[in-house]
Amino acid sequence: MSIIVNHVSCVFGGDTNMPVNALKDINLVINEGEFIGLIGHTGSGKSTLVQHLNGLIKATEGAVYFNGEDISDKDFDKKKLRSKVGLVFQYPEHQLFEIDVFSDVCFGPKNLGLSKKETELRAYKALKQVGISDEYFYQSPFALSGGQKRRVAIAGVLAMEPEVLILDEPTAGLDPKGRDEILTMIKKLQTEMGITVILVSHSMEDVAQYVDRIVVMNQGEIMYDAEPKEVFSHYKELEAVELAAPAVTYIMEKCREAGFPVNVKATTVLEAKNEILRIFHK
């Protein structure tokens, strides 16, 4: 299972006199089971790129291959693709609509044409995966807290049993504990169930903490595609494109400037702590 993005370009308004090149010659391979962070400033093309991955937007040029098949082929089953590549939009709780939590999560699998039993089984499993306990199943989704609503919305996508889960800023507006809970849950889906995860995020700290690989977008192009340490070592270049490195990267840099012989590649608090303890021989 893999997604290959091959020389994909996307032009909006190509037949007008103001065409916008949203994506320019994107090449990307997403391997099975990876946890990828997708970062970039507002308008850099992140959302346009992820919408190509499940066929919501058709590439102007180039092609997207899902398991070796071109998704723009006439014979390709788009409906199946959308169940395999689940997309969780920003503020997904705005899409909740059913009378109770359980029915809301059933909506997706029901529309796949599954039996009532299978639908309910999947909904139950998905709600368990996101950590919603039984007592909430028959409550209105609108009576839940912000973090819980978001879990239910994610469960709605999980119930489709996707192989790839794309989340567009799943932690926006949540309190710090809520952020950690959602991200830990997503990490668990990746490690325990082998789901490939693409996390679109504006929080460099979260990305540094959770993902294995970072793709940086700028003006419709891929600027970096590497592991977090490597990407964040270019913090000056990231700042030039309205991004940043995690706070600890700057702390380590300042420590080095002050004469401490630290390795500045730490991107998480734990790594920074171990590095400082190392030079203090603790």
Partner 1 sequence: MEIIETKNLVFEYIRRDDEGNVEGFTKAVDNVNLEVKQGDFIAILGHNGSGKSTLAKHLNAVVMPTEGTVYVDGKDTQDKEALWDIRKTAGMVFQNPDNQIIGQIVEEDVGFGPENMGVPTQEIWERVEESLKAVGMYAYRKHSPNKLSGGQKQRVSIAGVLAMHPKCIVLDEPTAMLDPNGRKEVIRAVRALNQAEDITVILITHYMEEVIHADKVFVMDQGKVVMEGTPKKIFSQVERLKELRLDVPQVTLLAYELGKSGLNLPKGILTTEEFVEELQKAALRML
Residue ranges that bind partner 1, judged by CB under 8 A: 40-43, 90, 140, 145-147, 169, 172-179, 202, 204-205, 239, 242-244, 246-248, 250-251, 254-255, 258, 260, 269-270, 272-273, 276-277, 280, 282
193 or 270: CB nearest partner 1: 270
Amino acid code (one letter) for 41: H
CB of 207 to partner 1, least distance (A): 11
Write out the H or E segment, with its range, that includes residue 23: strand 20-30
Q: CA nearest 270: which of 246, 254, 237? A: 246
11 or 251: CB nearest partner 1: 251
Count Cβ atoms below 10 Å from residue 227 Cβ, excluding itself.
12
Count Cβ atoms below 10 Å from residue 91 Cβ, excluding itself.
16
66 or 210: CB nearest partner 1: 210
CB of 143 to partner 1, least distance (A): 8
CB of 90 to partner 1, least distance (A): 8
CB of 198 to partner 1, least distance (A): 17
CB of 117 to partner 1, least distance (A): 27
* Farthest-apart Cα atoms in the chain, separation: 66
Kindly report the backbone phi and psi dihedral angles of residue 30, in degrees, each rounded to the nearest multiple of 5, phi listed first. -110, 115
74 or 177: CB nearest partner 1: 177
| Residue whose structure tokens are 């996307």 | 10
Give every CB contact of residue 167 below 8 A, 6+ residues apart in sequence: 88, 154, 186, 197, 198, 199, 200
User: Tokens representing 184?
Assistant: 């830990």
143 or 193: CB nearest partner 1: 143
Give every CB contact of residue 5 below 8 A, 6+ residues apart in sequence: 26, 27, 28, 29, 30, 49, 52, 53, 62, 64
Residue 264: DSSP 8-state: T
69 or 253: CB nearest partner 1: 253
| Residue whose structure tokens are 């710090």 | 176
d(CA 126, CA 144): 17
164 or 211: CB nearest partner 1: 211
CB of 107 to partner 1, least distance (A): 19
CB of 87 to partner 1, least distance (A): 18
